[in-house]
Structure 1
Amino acid sequence: MTALQLGLDTFGDVPTDDAGRVLTHPEAIRQVLDEAVLADQSGIDVIALGEHHRPEYSVSSPETVLAGIATRTERITLASGVTVLSSDDPVRVFQRFATVDALSGGRAQVILGRGSFTESFPLFGYDLADYDVLFEEKIELFHQLLAEQPVTWSGTTRPALADADVFPKTAGGLDTWVGVGGSPQSVVRAARYGLPLMLAIIGGEPERFRPYVDLYRRATEQLGTPEGRIGMHSPGFVADTDAEARETYFPSYQKMRNTIGALRGWPPLRRAEFDHEIENGSLYVGSPETVARKIAASVDALDVSRFDLVYTAGPQTVSARLRAVELFGTQVAPMVRDLLASRAGSPA
């Protein structure tokens, strides 16, 4: 049985200090660094930084921030969550993460995705009409680069390569996953390349994603590719009590959700909907015991070997975020492992 990994994800949401002042982008980036150091010290397995190009988020270049984290941590895996490969260059992505891998002693991990936000496409000169072909061609090239041998490749989205060697090399290969938001085609694509699968489950009952887990395993078997690990990430927040977690998290989560919803045609978030999602959906909000029990149930139901909690949402306070990181590492993670171990040892 593959050992369970437990991680934390953030997009570098711009927080506030305890006096209510909104931090600047430089301050917000340094705050992410401090939280990653605390995560490392608290025993958390992974810190994953997402890429965004919007004013409410501070991290537009995950690998740059991860390089800084690498110099101040010792054991935690340093991941992107995700790198929008469609609007980037596969060669440069490989080189940057190979550099993080060197700085961290082999702890870098890249999670490749198509991007649910589209600001990066016009920003870097890409046409959204090419959304699908951009990712299809670029992940094909990136997969070839992972062999760390000279590459010959041609496509329509970037200049061809002829026996091109790419540097720096890594010491033991670059750990590469594919992030998927719920498209069967994306699941099969990850299986085709034999890359681990990360499912973004941000709403509704987690169990509804079990068909994607089964599809991935069936596809790897039929295609004859290696079956990689399967993980999931979902939003949530940990505080000392259930009531504190809900009351602390709701205002900032509501603001973040309504900002995005205004662009996507969603109605404003109601408190009843928020509470229902905690009770029945994919919000992991509460005390350490409440969150641990819900994570364990989801990991068990989906049969995955990794769970990442997206622990930031909107303008939360710095102190609340730091406490959430500490509680997740020191209390939630051990409880999850104990709960799953006890279930595995229970008689059928």
Structure 2
Amino acid sequence: MTDQNLAAIELGLDTFGDVTRDSAGELLSDAQTIRNVVDQAVLADEVGVAFFGVGEHHRPEFAISSPEIVLAAAAARTKNIHLGTAVTVLSSDDPVRLFERFATLDAISNGRAEVILGRGSFIESFPLFGYELSDYEVLFEEKLDLFTQLLTEKPVTWQGTTRASLTDADVFPKTEGGLKAWIGVGGSPESVVRTARHGLGLMLAIIGGPSARFRPFVDLYHRSLAEFGRDTLPVGVHSPGHVAATDQQAWDEAYEGFQAMHNTIGRERGWPPYSRMRFQHDVGPEGSTYVGSPETVARKIVDTVRTLGASRFDMKFATGTLSHEKMMTSIELYGTKVIPLVRDMLS
């Protein structure tokens, strides 16, 4: 993909609705966190961000378990920005109800809804909704098969082992222009091929290591699309980051939140404690974290989209306990400084 084509890249933002702290250091309520996320989406729209993604989680660090409701609230207060998930945990949801909810969001937003489907990086939703982890693979494969059939918005006949069969079933409401859908992939070749087989966009969740490490997955995706006789489809990247006036300010503001989130998850997964040295590596050229001044973040985004030929880059701007006020500043700088710089560098 040439720089001329890359100059049309979509630049978005993602959040999991991380529960943050107020000026006194106290954790905000889940309710206030959700209201803040809607305000963040409104600001992102005002400063020209292309997409705002909201993750689905069912654990105490994140306030958002029903992304579509939060996105519908944002849709009513925004005009141009596309609104979607990052990701929807399809394995523990029902594909029919999921399509209906997003078709409804698409109507409210005048065609701005997107869905990024995934298996999720956490497992709390499985026991919560009565699913067995031993069915992890079959749940996603079967439900993805049904969901992609529903995207045609024609009557569906389907049979599987994870839900009731359907015979010539029609689902409502219909959208006016179709629903854009992606699959979030963490780096499994099998997942890349599956994404191509179902004809959906590939969203790479790059949360560790240099972006060049993921180029073989992009090449595999394009080869697989060709083998399945499908047209070229978009490749996107999701990575964490934070923008402030200077590199040092951005590093100092972001580190505590990154450390808190990494250590919380690390205690469950057996990771070593997070250090400032590890953080500085992650924000450097060989890391997958986009923290710094507008110029630093823009250069790193440009390097990533050139390396991968990506047509979308979504920065996860909320990590850990970083305050709402600092996130709002990061969003403003991302829209008013980073996005123009990226376009200038690519054109």
Counterparts of 1:305 and 1:330 in 2: how far apart (Å)? 20
Deviation, 1:134, is 0.3
> What SS is found at the alignment partner of 1:64?
helix
Does residue 107 (structure 1) correspond to residue 97 (structure 2)? The answer is no
- Counterpart code for 2:345: L
Displacement of 1:18 in angstroms is 2.0
**Is residue 2:302 matched to residue 1:296?**
yes
Provide the C-alpha distance between the structure 2 equivalents of 1:289 and 1:19, rounded to a whole number of angstroms: 31
Report what 2:52 is aligned to: 47
Q: Equivalents in 2 of 1:277, 1:252: separation in Å?
A: 14
Does 2:73 correspond to 1:68? Answer: yes
Note the alpha carbon deviations across 1:190-233, whole angstroms, 9 max, x for none. Answer: 10011111000001111100000000000000110222100001
What is the TM-score normalised by the length of structure 2?
A: 0.97
TM-score calculated relative to the size of structure 1:
0.97
1:318 CA drift (Å): 1.4
For residues 271 and 184 of structure 1, the distance between their equivalents in structure 2, rounded to whole angstroms, comes to 32
Q: How many Å separate the matches in 1 of 2:271 and 2:25? A: 28
Distance 1:148 1:298 in 2: 35
1:324 aligns with 2:303: no
The unaligned stretches of length 5 or more in structure 1 are 342-348
2:270 equivalent in structure 1: 265
**Shift of residue 72 of structure 1?**
0.2
> Counterpart of 1:333?
339
Give secondary structure in 1 for the equivalent of 2:278. Answer: helix
**Structure 2: unaligned runs, 5 residues or longer:** none
Aligned to 1:238: 243
Q: How many angstroms apart in 2 are the aligned matches of 1:218 and 1:183? A: 15
Q: Are the counterparts in 2 of residues 46 and 79 from structure 1 also a CA contact under 8 Å?
A: yes
SS of structure 1 residue aligned to 2:60: coil
Displacement of 1:305: 0.6
Deviations 1:52-91 (A, max 9, x none): 1010101111111001100000000001010000000000
RMSD: 0.7
Provide the secondary structure at the position in 1 that maps to 2:80. coil
Which amino acid in 2 is paired with 1:49? V
Deviations 1:163-198, CA, capped at 9 Å, x for gaps: 111000000101111110111111001100111110
Secondary structure, aligned partner of 2:138: helix
Consecutive aligned runs of 4 or more in structure 1 exceeding 3 Å deviation = none
Measured in 2, the distance between the counterparts of 1:150 and 1:218 equals 31
**8 Å CA contact retained: 1:202, 1:235:** yes
| Equivalent-residue separation in structure 2 for 1:337 and 1:60 (angstroms) | 34
Contact 1:137 / 1:155 at 8 angstroms: preserved in 2? yes
1:256 corresponds to 2:267: no
C-alpha distance in 1, partners of 2:293/2:206? 21
Instruction: Give the aligned partner of residue 127 of structure 1.
Output: 132
Q: CA deviation at 1:317?
A: 1.1
User: What is the alpha-carbon distance in structure 1 between the residues aligned to residue 77 and residue 255 of structure 2?
Assistant: 32
Give the fraction of aligned pairs with identical amino acids, expressed as a percent. 60
- Which residue pairs with 1:344 in the alignment? none
Write the distance in 2 (CA, Å) between the matches of 1:117 and 1:181.
13
Matched residue type, 1:276? H
Distance 1:87 1:293 in 2: 38
Q: Deviations over 1:251-279 (max 9, x none)?
A: 11100010001111100011111101111
Give a deviation string over 1:111-138, Cα, whole Å, max 9, x none: 0001111100000000000000000000
How many residue pairs match? The answer is 341
